[in-house]
Amino acid sequence: MLLSYHALHDPRCCSPGEPLDIFTDSQVAIQLVSKAIYRPHGLTGADICLHLPLLLPIAHMMLERAARGVPTRIFKVKSHCGIHGNEEADALAKEAARTSPEGLDATTPYENPFDGKWWPATAVAPTAPGPLDNSDVRTVSNLKSGLKEAVRPTTKKGFSNQNSVYAQAWAETTMDPEGPHPTISNAMWNSSKVPYATLVQTLKSRYGCLWNAKLAHRFKRPYLPHRVHGHAISAACPLCSGSDSIGHILGECAHPILKALHIRRHDEAVRMIFKAVQKGFLGGNFSIMDAGTSDTVQVAGATTKRIPPWVLPHVPTDELHRMRPDIMILDSVPQQPTDVDIACAHHRTVHLVEVGYGPDTRWKETLEKKKQQHQRLKEALAQAGWTNVVEHIIVLGRSGCVYRNAQTILEQLGLTSAQALKLMHKLHFHAVASLRDIVKARRSLERLPHSSTTARRAPRQGMG
pLDDT digits (tens, 9 = 90+) for 304-342: 899 999 999 999 999 999 999 999 999 989 988 998 888
Average pLDDT, the chain: 84
What residues form DSSP beta bridges with 21?
Answer: 73
Contact 284, 335 (CB under 8 A): yes
CA dist., res. 30 & res. 27, Å (int): 5
> In the predicted model, what is the mean pLDDT of residues 280-305?
88
Domain final position from 56, 83, 98: 98
Confidence check: pLDDT of 208 > 80: yes
Same domain, 342 and 257: yes
What's the pLDDT at 189? 94
Evaluated on CA atoms 334, 337, 338, 340, the torsion sign reads positive
> In the predicted model, what is the mean pLDDT of residues 224-229?
65
Specify if 191 maps to a domain.
yes
Specify if 113 maps to a domain.
no
What residues form DSSP beta bridges with 243?
Answer: 236
Same domain, 248 and 367: yes
CA dist., res. 36 & res. 30, Å (int): 10
Name residues whose C-beta falls within 8 Å of residue 463's C-beta, 6 or more positions apart in sequence. none
Nearest CA to 387 out of 344, 355, 326 is that of 344
Confidence check: pLDDT of 227 > 70: no
Specify if 456 maps to a domain.
yes
Q: What CATH number does the domain containing 47 carry?
A: 3.30.420.10
Nearest CA to 373 out of 389, 352, 359 is that of 352
CA dist., res. 281 & res. 335, Å (int): 14
Same domain, 151 and 182: no
How large is the C-alpha radius of gyration of the chain?
34
**Global pTM?**
0.68
The 3-class secondary structure across the chain, one letter per residue, is CHHHHHHHHCCCCCCCCCCEEEEECCHHHHHHHHHHHHCHHHCCCHHHHHHHHHHHHHHHHHHHHHHCCCCEEEEECCCCCCCHHHHHHHHHHHHHHHCCCCCCCCCCCCCCCCCCCCCCEEECCCCCCCCCCHHHEEECCCCCHHHHHHHHHHHCCCCCCCCCHHHHHHHHHHHCCCCECCCHHHHHHHCCCCCHHHHHHHHHHHCCCCCCHHHHHHHCCCCCCCCCCCCECCCECCCCCCECCHHHHHHHCCCHHHHHHHHHHHHHHHHHHHHHHHCCCCCCEEEEECCCCHHHHHHHCCCECCCCCCCCCCCCHHHHHHCCCCEEEEEEEECCCCHHHHHHHHHCEEEEEEEEEECHHHHHHHHHHHHHHCHHHHHHHHHCCCCEEEEEEEEEECCCCEECHHHHHHHHCCCCHHHHHHHHHHHHHHHHHHHHHHHHHHHHHHCCCCCCCCECCCCCCCCC
Specify if 103 maps to a domain.
no
Specify if 112 maps to a domain.
no
Strands 121-123 and 137-139: antiparallel
Nearest CA to 212 out of 249, 164, 242 is that of 249
Same domain, 130 and 233: no
What's the pLDDT at 82? 79
> In the predicted model, what is the mean pLDDT of residues 64-80?
87
Specify if 110 maps to a domain.
no
Same domain, 274 and 355: yes
Could you read off the pLDDT of 87-143 as tens digits, one per residue? 887 787 777 666 655 555 555 555 555 556 677 888 776 555 555 555 567 777 777
Same domain, 370 and 297: yes
Angle of helix 417-446 relative to helix 256-278, nearest 10 degrees, comes to 170
Contact 403, 363 (CB under 8 A): yes
Same domain, 81 and 217: no
Same domain, 66 and 151: no
Same domain, 12 and 137: no
What's the pLDDT at 295? 83
CA dist., res. 203 & res. 212, Å (int): 15
pLDDT higher at 151 or 389: 389
For the chain, what is the domain count?
3
Specify if 259 maps to a domain.
yes
Same domain, 151 and 179: no
- Cα-based distances in Å from 20 to 117, 142, 167: 38, 33, 63
What is the domain range of residue 48? 2-98
Specify if 64 maps to a domain.
yes
Same domain, 186 and 285: yes
Same domain, 186 and 148: no
